Amino acid sequence: MHLLSTLRVILSLTGVICANYTIFTDPNSASDDQTSISTSIINGVVTGTDYYPFISQLYITENNGSSYNFICTAELIGQQYILTAAHCVSDNSLRLRSPSLYRLNIGSATLATSNDLNNLYTVTNIYSAGYSSNLANDVVILKLNKPVPSSVATPVKVYPYKITASLPVEVAGFGSTYYGGPVSKTLLRALINVSESSSCSAFNPDWANNSGPLVCSISPSGNDSCNGDAGGPMVAKLNGKRVLVGTVSYGENMDRSNVVNCGANNVSYYVRTAYFVKWIASVMKVDYNTLIEIAN
């Protein structure tokens, strides 16, 4: 574990909390946060559950259920299982926090309001891929209190093939449209570029190539994921549908003196889902072949 990335992750987590969106359980206490809908993830377009039938939102309560804050994007990976970033459910010492703090809004392309509170799923277990011993393992599985009906959401399949710089990929989430900005109330998606640049290893020693635990992305146009997108999907199209290449971990400015950590020519890292698929299958007690999409 390298100190630099510990600092980076904590920084990005702070950013997530700054991009605040709160649901209040007592209708008399306050109204839901009225953050305006912005135009992009960064440079993104509004998208829906037709493209992202597995999209999910993670909320946390810090006051025993009086209110819930949106913290991260997530995806349904099995009927009763969610994938998201480990840093979304870890404390500053990288320890997993209690499952009882979390709620999920599943299969919706807009953030939840007080009216949705009764439909939020709870979490019974959190399974870690080993984030506390290696920050590259920034992925967790959340087990839900009950299975999600297919009328609500469809689990995403995993992209099992080699990731190259020429593979067209897209990222989606409810995160900020600029660094430190408010979250987006609607799901946004943007095309991004997979990168094989030496900058990818220069800024993260855990990255050697896009066949390991991390996929690197650098997009000159400025299309990027940002705070609040953590845990959200990087997808490629296979057999006409969007399948999971990776999940948003963090990003950083390649100008180390600049604190803005998302945008044009910033470097972003995604946890490559296929690298972890056998672990995911073991947690879910299924054959990993049932989790991957094979090209027709």
Alpha helices in the chain (DSSP H): 3-18, 198-202, 277-284
Integer angstrom CA distances of residue 270 from 22, 121, 146, 240, 277: 26, 25, 28, 22, 15
Q: Nearer to ligand NAG by C-beta: 77 or 190? A: 190
Q: Nearer to ligand NAG by C-beta: 40 or 155? A: 40
Distance of closest approach, residue 162 Cβ to ligand NAG, in angstroms: 7
245 half-sphere exposure, CB direction, 13 A CA radius: 30
Distance of closest approach, residue 85 Cβ to ligand NAG, in angstroms: 20
Q: Nearer to ligand NAG by C-beta: 84 or 177? A: 177
Report how far residue 159's alpha carbon sits from residue 139's, in angstroms, rounded to the nearest whole number: 16
Query: Where along the sequence are the contacts to ligand NAG (CB under 6 A)?
Result: 18, 20, 33, 35, 43-45, 64-65, 189-193, 208-209, 211-212, 219-223, 253-255, 258, 260, 263-266
Distance of closest approach, residue 250 Cβ to ligand NAG, in angstroms: 14
**Residue 42: other Cβ atoms inside 10 A:** 28
Q: Nearer to ligand NAG by C-beta: 43 or 249? A: 43
Q: Which two tokens stand for residue 281?
A: 């299958």
Q: Nearer to ligand NAG by C-beta: 41 or 141? A: 41
| Residue of closest CB approach to ligand NAG | 263
Report how far residue 251's alpha carbon sits from residue 247's, in angstroms, rounded to the nearest whole number: 12
DSSP bridge partners of 69: 22, 60
Distance of closest approach, residue 284 Cβ to ligand NAG, in angstroms: 27
Q: Are 270 and 285 in contact (CB under 8 A)?
A: no
Distance of closest approach, residue 133 Cβ to ligand NAG, in angstroms: 18
